[in-house]
Amino acid sequence: MSQFDAAAGAEARERIRAGSTEPTSGLAPGLVQANLIAVPADWAFDMLLFAQRNPKPCPVIDVLEPGQVESALASGSDLRTDIPRYRLWENGELVDEVDDATAAWAQHPDLVSFLIGCSFTFETGLLEAGIPIRHQQAGRNVPMYSTSIACSPAGRVSGNMVVSMRPIPAGQVAEAVRITDRFPAVHGGPVHIGEPEQIGITDLSAPDFGDAPMIEDGDIPVFWACGVTPQVAIQASAPPFAITHSPGRMFITDAPEGNYRQ
């Protein structure tokens, strides 16, 4: 199991609560990071069913019922303040980005919150195997792309899959598959390797979310299902209101990644 500092999660959340808005890749190594999607109670079944039918992009690791803001995976946490940046959605439109969602939450007290595993979690394992994480090297957010891969719809919720991309040296791609396959709760193994056009990505240098990639000679682009997928589903499905994290700026839990390794 990876080394980790059990207090690092609480410390990172404290810094974020105090105002840090940086991407969270590389923070609190060895602890599970999570995507947020919060929708009104009336939409909660459709969203949970969407996740259940699309476990690769939407592996649910915690669900907070209306009125709950402390995740069982992070003692003393507050979902309204402990994410670096939030996106607010109305009828499928992005209407605002905020660093504190307390006011938005107060206006929508029936929100049901889903925490979805994030691939940042397995980056520690890749690094330990000597596999470079290019976006960390470059000090950038991971690049993420909308694809042409349709998710299975559920009730009113549908949309295409979003993927994160890491350029991996060709000789280490197979090992990256093996390592990430062991983490099905944080998206597991890649959904696509090379040939971005086949999944509808026409320009790797222009991701739909996050920052442009740094690709070295001999790297192959490797694509993992991404927890930003529900945000594209929100755009396609237009619930009256939703709160999500801002891509790359995650909720950091206290849960060791080893808990989710097979």
Contact residues toward its own copies (CB under 8 A) are 41, 44-45, 48-49, 52-53, 60, 63, 65, 112, 154-155, 262
Nearer to its own copies (CB atom), residue 4 or residue 50: 50
Nearer to its own copies (CB atom), residue 76 or residue 155: 155
**Distance between CA atoms of 57 and 37, rounded to whole angstroms?**
13
Taking the complex as a whole, the smallest distance from the CB of residue 157 to its own copies amounts, in Å, to 11
Residue 254, token pair as written in the block: 């206290």
β-pairing, 144-150 with 160-169? antiparallel
Nearer to its own copies (CB atom), residue 41 or residue 206: 41
Taking the complex as a whole, the smallest distance from the CB of residue 59 to its own copies amounts, in Å, to 11
Contact 40, 31 (CB under 8 A): no
Nearer to its own copies (CB atom), residue 12 or residue 154: 154
Residue 197, token pair as written in the block: 């056009």
Where b means 16+ CB within 10 Å and e means fewer, 106-144 reads: eebeebbbbbbbbbbbbbbbbeeeebbbbbbeeebbbbb
Taking the complex as a whole, the smallest distance from the CB of residue 39 to its own copies amounts, in Å, to 11
Taking the complex as a whole, the smallest distance from the CB of residue 49 to its own copies amounts, in Å, to 6
Contact 64, 79 (CB under 8 A): yes
What lies within 8 Å, CB to CB, of 161 at 6+ separation is 54, 56, 57, 147, 149, 150, 151, 191, 225, 226, 229, 232
Nearer to its own copies (CB atom), residue 53 or residue 178: 53
Nearer to its own copies (CB atom), residue 26 or residue 55: 55
Taking the complex as a whole, the smallest distance from the CB of residue 43 to its own copies amounts, in Å, to 9
Give the 3-state secondary structure of residue 224.
strand
